[in-house]
Amino acid sequence: MKGIAGSKESNDCLITIESSVKRKIEINSIVGVFFYDQILKVVEDTLDEQGLHNVKVIVEDKGALDYTIKSRLLTAIERMREDV
């Protein structure tokens, strides 16, 4: 099961999520030096809200704001759930 959402355009991010034996989050961000912790928090909080623990998430971030990251992640989750 896998879901992808977003883009690698400036101010956006591309998020890939798939099932995994444990939670794993990988963040590659052009603004990681400044915002890594915040991006990680948005991803973790959103996964918690969705009750998802055994997933692997890859965030390829081009400077997206928190609400963009969250909506991309939610869409990726939905797509993953549809992907059977």
With respect to another protein, which residue has the nearer C-beta, 3 or 29? 29
| Positions of E strands within the chain | 2-6, 13-19, 24-29, 55-61
* Window 22-51: contact mask with another protein (x via CB under 8 A): ------xxxxxxxxxxx-------------
* Least Å from the CB of residue 40 to another protein: 12
With respect to another protein, which residue has the nearer C-beta, 8 or 24? 8
**Helix (H/G/I), strand (E/B), else coil: 14:** strand
* Least Å from the CB of residue 53 to another protein: 25
Which residues fall within 8 angstroms of residue 45, CB to CB, at 6 or more apart?
Answer: none
- Please choose, from the candidates 50, 52, 81, 63, the residue with its C-alpha nearest in 3D space to the C-alpha of residue 6: 63
* Least Å from the CB of residue 30 to another protein: 6
